[in-house]
């Protein structure tokens, strides 16, 4: 009898089988050994983990190449849709689009340095460069044959033949392609990332030595465009380099899309198409937030200035091509570019935006005569002080569909943030609730649970997550309850060992793993969690003999480098952890860990081990969230507000199967009308007062008693997210959590109900909705034949000779 597979071996087998098919695993092993042999110059026995990773990555990529080529041939010859240029698209969506057989392309920038690596030193966040390309990237392939020019600066000449953008500075966009395999369907889509390169257009003879050196150095200025990712999420910084990045990616991408459109066959006989009437029928471009908004005036520039289309026709095609997804309602996050900056960097685009705005306002004025205030509210140009372009307004006016990413978020977008636009074109506004891919966020990261589910309901749920509803039949199955609890405990033991090794803190694996991992931001209210930790600490100290449900509180996330308050929150959490973890009275009852450098690979470890998922943003501030879905799918229970996708999670599972607390959106609005007074909560709630006083007095910072004065001042006088208002309800809800945790069987039954209700939150469902409602294409059941079979052979749900729409 063969030994059982380890979790690591199961993970590897599941993921490889999903990518290449079970019949090809032996072939992969041979390829792996070959790559390892050729890439190593030393004895195999001393190979590093990186050596093995690169050998495996090259092996899998080699195996995918034939499928990759065949997929692109299939799209070129058969499918009506050129593909969705889904700019900056989420990884889960790319996975789903490939799995659903959609002819889709993800575009972005190939940043040399990604989001920073976070180090915690003396409790403070310190940023280090993420030089992720230092050792190369085995998955990507450079495509210099598709390098494209992108223009900046210059001036505009107008003549009888139209406008011409001249005297520009050129930067080249070099594409790097990464394969995106679908699950068990031989489809391999493409993610194309652009890298900035300076052109070699200076002649050495024209320079003296000094000018030549300077010319070489100036190349760096051009290539800085793809040097580093701006880390300030949810906060708009009007930097010239950032605007260059945003235009760089859309200019290169639109040229690429137009090249593909002109070259594609679609049953036609022309080698190159120059008629654009069918463009919106063949191309759908989803603007993922406002960062790619410059694609709208850029496509108009191409159609009007280069292809010589009449304005009205170009505008009709442009509007029918673009759709816009809004991702935030926080006012400080909305992009508003200074007109002066756009005029300098992209002079022709500013003229086009002015023309779009004038026609837009003329239309509004015809519908609402003399309503000057409405014109001001709906204009693309904000007057007063520095004139700015409202990029969200540009996206709405230039798109045929606008969506939020959760029901409650889409409602806020429609009725509050963009109310005037929704009243004008109500049919344009939709909801598309976010989702996650179960391939990564269950099969890969939690193979024990994935296997257990497959034993009960079969393996088809991997492609149809709604089948998880079948688990409702096993909620009262004692054996299944024990097995689910056992998988969770195994994951916790594994993660506890990891924490002990990394943080030198002894973790009780039987304690409740209470996890709050996400970007550090005031609206996500890590501060409220911190106040609860202090409250628990004080309760233990007050009566050490009283029954206390042991907890390991795990908080993680990065603060934007320039976000002072977020960095202070990290320091406070670490200061509290230092006191709690070293208090002998507390012992193993309460431990606090701040996870350093939270990232996807760490999420894959912590999420399967989590008991309680913290989703506690102020109602009306979180667009959707996807971490909440990942935790739900992996058997964690949720404590949360009625915000973002939490609302729909409660609808699916039943509100009684989540720990819901606190103000609703209407309560927050009412409190805003009345005026939020933090002092009254502090005066009324003794435990809150004690916790705040400890922070204020230096109890957690004895060497620097005033260290957290900015945090305390904010909580009392500048807290837009009303931490004190929800504190009491949060603490009481946490008491219910502890009470249920004491009853292991009841807890696990609630876990099973949550997993069974998680089917809606698959990114496959989300992408099907985008495809049908916005892109007007149908997902395909077609299984493209592998390279060793004739291309005519296909497993398709369509009759012979019928083209599958993708």
Residues labelled as active-site residues = 327, 518-519, 524, 626, 630
| Helix pair 49-77, 25-39: axis angle to 10 deg | 120
Total length of the chain: 806
> What are 277's two structure tokens?
């009437």
| 416 HSE (CA, 13 A, CB side) | 16
Residue in 323, 286, 246 with CA at minimum distance from that of residue 93: 286
Instruction: Please state, in angstroms and rounded to a whole number, the distance separating the CA atoms of residues 723 and 287.
Output: 33
CB atoms within 10 A of CB 325: 25
Q: Is 434 left (phi over 0), alpha (psi -120 to 50) or beta?
A: beta
Question: Other C-beta atoms within 10 Å of 549: how many?
Answer: 17
Task: For 781-793, give the DSSP string.
Answer: --BPPPTTS-TT-
Q: Where are the beta strands (DSSP E) in 255-410?
A: 283-288, 322-325, 336-338, 381-382, 388-390, 402-404
User: What is the DSSP code string of 12-58?
Assistant: HHHHHHHHH-GGGHHHHHHHHHHHHHHH-SS-GGG--HHHHHHHHHH
- Using DSSP bridges, classify how beta strands 388-390 and 336-338 pair: parallel, antiparallel or unpaired: antiparallel
Over 385-404, what HEC string results? CCCEEEHHHHHHHCCCCEEE
What's phi and psi for 150, nearest 5 deg? -125, 135
The rounded radius of gyration (Å) of the Cα atoms in the chain is 28
Which residues, at least 6 apart from 385, have a Cβ–Cβ distance to it below 8 Å? none
Contacts of 600 by beta carbon, 8 Å cutoff, 6+ apart: none
Whole-angstrom CA distances from 195 to 292, 345, 725 are 16, 19, 47
Rounded to whole angstroms, the Cα distance separating 156 from 87 reads: 28
- Give the span between the Cα atoms of 667 and 786, in whole angstroms: 57
CA-CA distance, 793 to 51, in Å (whole number)?
Answer: 38
Comparing CA positions, the residue from 595, 754, 743 lying closest to residue 660 is 754
Structure tokens at 150: 């992108």
Q: Are 350 and 342 in contact (CB under 8 A)?
A: yes
Pairing of strands 83-87, 283-288: parallel
Bridge partners, 553 (sequence order) = 514, 592
DSSP code of 198? Answer: -
Tokens found for residue 270 = 């022309």
Cβ-in-10-Å burial (0-12, 13-18, 19+) of 547 comes to exposed
């Amino acid at each position: 009898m063969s030994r059982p597979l380890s979790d690591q071996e199961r993970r590897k087998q599941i993921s490889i089988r999903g990518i290449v098919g079970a019949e090809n695993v032996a072939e992969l092993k041979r390829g792996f050994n070959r790559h390892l042999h050729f890439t190593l110059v030393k004895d195999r026995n001393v190979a590093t983990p990186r050596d093995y990773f690169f050998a495996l990555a090259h092996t899998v990529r080699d195996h995918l190449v034939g499928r990759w080529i065949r997929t692109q041939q299939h799209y070129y010859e058969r499918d009506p849709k050129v593909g969705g240029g889904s700019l900056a698209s989420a990884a889960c969506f790319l996975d789903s689009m490939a799995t659903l057989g959609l002819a889709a392309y993800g575009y972005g920038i190939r940043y040399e340095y990604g989001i920073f690596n976070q180090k915690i030193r003396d409790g403070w966040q310190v940023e280090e460069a993420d030089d992720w390309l230092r050792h190369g990237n085995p998955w990507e392939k450079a495509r210099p044959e598709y390098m494209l020019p992108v223009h900046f600066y210059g001036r505009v000449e107008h003549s009888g033949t139209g406008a011409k953008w001249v005297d520009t500075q050129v930067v080249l966009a070099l594409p790097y392609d990464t394969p995106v395999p679908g699950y068990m369907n031989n489809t391999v889509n493409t993610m194309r990332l652009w890298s900035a390169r300076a052109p070699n257009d200076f002649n050495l003879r024209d320079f003296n030595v000094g000018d030549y050196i300077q010319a070489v150095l100036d190349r760096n200025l051009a290539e800085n465009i793809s040097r580093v990712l701006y880390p300030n999420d949810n906060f708009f910084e009007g930097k010239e380099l950032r605007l260059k990045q945003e235009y760089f990616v859309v200019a290169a991408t639109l040229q690429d899309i137009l090249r593909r459109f002109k070259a594609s066959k679609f049953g036609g006989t022309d080698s190159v198409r120059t008629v654009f009437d069918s463009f919106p029928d063949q191309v759908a471009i989803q603007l993922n937030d406002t960062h790619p908004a410059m694609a709208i005036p850029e496509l108009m520039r191409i159609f009007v200035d280069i292809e010589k289309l009449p304005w009205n026709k170009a505008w009709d095609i442009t509007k029918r091509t673009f759709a816009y997804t809004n991702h935030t309602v926080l006012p400080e996050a909305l992009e508003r570019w200074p007109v002066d900056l756009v005029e300098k960097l992209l002079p022709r685009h500013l003229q086009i935006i002015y023309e779009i705005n004038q026609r837009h306002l003329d239309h509004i004025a015809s519908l609402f005569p003399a309503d000057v205030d409405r014109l001001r509210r709906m204009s693309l140009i904000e007057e007063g002080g520095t004139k700015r372009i409202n990029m969200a307004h540009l996206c709405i006016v230039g798109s045929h569909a606008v969506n939020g990413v959760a029901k409650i978020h889409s409602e806020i977008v429609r009725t509050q943030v963009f109310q005037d636009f929704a009243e004008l074109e109500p049919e344009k506004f939709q909801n598309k609730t976010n989702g996650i891919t179960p391939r990564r966020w269950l099969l890969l990261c939690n193979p024990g649970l994935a296997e257990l589910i497959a034993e009960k309901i079969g393996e088809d749920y991997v492609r149809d997550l709604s089948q998880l509803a079948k688990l409702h039949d096993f909620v009262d199955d004692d054996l299944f309850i024990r097995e689910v609890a056992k998988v969770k405990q195994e994951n916790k033991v594994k993660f506890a060992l990891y924490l002990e090794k990394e943080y030198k803190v002894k973790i009780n694996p039987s304690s409740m793993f209470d996890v709050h991992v996400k970007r550090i931001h005031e609206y996500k209210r890590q501060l409220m969690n911190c106040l609860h930790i202090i409250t628990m600490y004080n309760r233990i100290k007050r009566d050490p003999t009283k029954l206390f449900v042991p907890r390991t509180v795990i908080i993680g996330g990065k603060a934007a480098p320039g976000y002072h308050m977020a960095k202070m929150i990290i320091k406070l959490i670490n200061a509290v952890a230092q006191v709690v973890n070293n208090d002998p009275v507390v012992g193993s009852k309460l431990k606090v860990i701040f996870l350093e450098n939270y990232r996807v690979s760490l999420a894959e470890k912590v999420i399967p081990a989590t008991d309680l998922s913290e989703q506690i943003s102020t109602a009306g501030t979180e667009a959707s969230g996807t971490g909440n879905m990942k935790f739900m799918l992996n058997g964690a229970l949720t404590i949360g507000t009625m915000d973002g996708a939490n609302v729909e999670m409660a609808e699916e599972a039943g509100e009684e199967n989540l720990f819901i607390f606190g103000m609703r959106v209407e309560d927050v609005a009412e409190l805003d009308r009345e005026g939020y007074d933090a002092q009254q909560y502090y005066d009324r709630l003794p435990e809150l007062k004690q916790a705040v006083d400890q922070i204020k007095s230096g109890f957690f910072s004895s060497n620097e008693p005033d260290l957290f004065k900015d945090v305390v001042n904010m909580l009392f006088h500048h807290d837009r997210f009303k931490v004190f208002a929800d504190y009491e309800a949060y603490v009481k809800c946490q008491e219910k959590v502890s009470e249920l945790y004491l009853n292991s069987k009841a807890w696990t039954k609630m876990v099973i109900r949550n997993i069974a209700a998680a089917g809606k939150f698959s990114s496959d469902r989300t992408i099907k909705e985008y495809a049908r409602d916005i892109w007007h294409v149908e997902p395909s059941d077609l299984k493209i034949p592998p390279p060793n079979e004739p291309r005519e052979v296909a497993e398709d749900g369509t009759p012979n000779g019928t083209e599958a729409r993708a």
